[in-house]
Amino acid sequence: AEFCRFAAAPGRRFSPVRPSGAAGGRWRQRLAFVSLRGLAQGQQPGRGTPGGPSCNPAAPQVREALLAGLAALSPAAGVGRACLVVDHAEPDLGWHDALVAELLTANPNVCLLLVRRSPLYRLEGAGGERWKAVNLELPALSAHHAAQVFLRRVHRPLTEVDFASVADGQRRASSPAPPLQQREPLLQRLVSHPALVAGRGNPRRVVRLASAVTPQLPSLYDLPVASIVG
């Protein structure tokens, strides 16, 4: 919930950026984001790396992208710490632990945040003797937090029509319904809405559902939930 709030809140000081978005001068980006799954699109990733990174054809591309992300950060003296987020840091997508030693040796002021399905208790190779991997399980969003994220990401105000069933006369009212105020009662109604329940607290699903709520969508009941969360 905090990451979603950080990335979506109006007037934020910093934003996640891709490695190509490096800012020049003394003040560079403090947070960069690389998705290994995004890099793997359009190519066939390796099926495991029992013999090391050279067994995976995606490994060189991953290393290049991570070094570009590091270059985008590289905080100048006195600027402080920076963070490189690596999403889908999985071996079958080109990740290997030797990258940690290379990245952190080049810039010890950078913190690596690896997002992956399985825990990482010790880095393979020499890096395991120098750096400790700290694991933090990321649970699903609570129903209330999911409703907050959803409400921040929709592209139009919600109305009573969004909470009316197909058989309800309000659903097809001729005059536009007034927008509902973004207060606690609205959050409580969203918590039990079938669209939010289908998201099961998964931030990606919640954001995708919210992005489909446009002025052209008649009601939340018209969301293509199955294709979005399936």
Q: Which pLDDT tens digit goes with each residue over 171-205?
A: 555 557 788 888 899 999 999 999 999 999 998 89
pLDDT for 48 equals 35
Q: Are residues 12 and 109 in the same domain?
A: yes
Q: Report DSSP letters for the chain, one per residue.
A: -HHHHHHHSTT-S---B-GGG---SS---SEEEEEHHHHHTTS---S--TT-GGG-TTHHHHHHHHHHHHHHH-PPTTT--EEEEEET--GGGT--THHHHHHHHH-TTEEEEEE-SS---S-SSTHHHH--------PPPPHHHHHHHHHHH-SS---GGGG--TTSGGGG-SSPPPPPPSSHHHHHHHHTSHHHHHHTT-HHHHHHHHHT--TT---GGGS-HHHHH-
Q: Specify if 48 maps to a domain.
A: no
Residue 131 lies in a domain: no
79 is a domain residue = yes
| Structural domain includes residue 127 | no
| Assigned domain for 133 exists | no
Contact assessment for residue 65 and residue 18, using Cβ atoms and an 8 Å cutoff: no
Q: Do both 111 and 150 map to the same domain?
A: no
Give me the number of domains the chain comprises. Answer: 2
Give residue 3's pLDDT.
54
110 lies in the same domain as 150: no
Q: State how far Cα 8 lies from the chain centre.
A: 11
* In the predicted structure, residue 21 carries a pLDDT above the cut 50: no
* Same domain as 196, residue 106: no
- Are residues 76 and 11 located together in one domain of the fold? yes
The mean pLDDT value for 144-167 works out to: 88
pLDDT band at 52 (very low <50, low <70, confident <90, very high): very low
Q: With a cut of 90, say whether residue 77 has pLDDT above it.
A: no
Domain identity same for 9 and 102: yes
Q: Angle formed by the axes of helices 98-106 and 59-73, to 10°?
A: 20
- Do 66 and 94 touch, CB atoms closer than 8 A? no
Q: How far apart are CA 53 and CA 69, in angstroms?
A: 19
Compare 171 and 95 and report the one with higher pLDDT: 95
Domain assignment present for 134: no
Give pLDDT, residue 28.
54
Same domain, 31 and 105: yes
Q: What is the mean pLDDT of residues 114-124?
A: 89
Rounded distance between C-alpha atoms, residue 36 and residue 50, angstroms: 19
pLDDT band at 82 (very low <50, low <70, confident <90, very high): confident
| Assigned domain for 194 exists | yes
Alpha-carbon distance of 92 to 207, in angstroms, equals: 26
Cβ within 8 Å of residue 183, ≥6 positions away: none
pLDDT grade, residue 165 (50/70/90)?
low
Q: Could you give the angle at the alpha carbon of 138 between the alpha carbons of 135 and 143, nearest 5°?
A: 160
Cα dist from 108 to 30, 32, 74, 87, 130, whole Å: 14, 16, 10, 20, 12
How much is the pTM?
Answer: 0.60
Which range marks the domain in which residue 70 is found? 2-43+56-115
Is the pLDDT reported for residue 23 higher than 50?
Answer: no
The verdict on residue 69 lying in a domain is yes
Mean pLDDT of 19-40: 65
pLDDT band with cut points at 50, 70 and 90 for residue 157? very high
* Residue-averaged pLDDT of the chain: 77
Mean pLDDT computed over 146-173: 80
Most confident by average pLDDT, 33-47, 50-64, 97-111, 208-222:
208-222
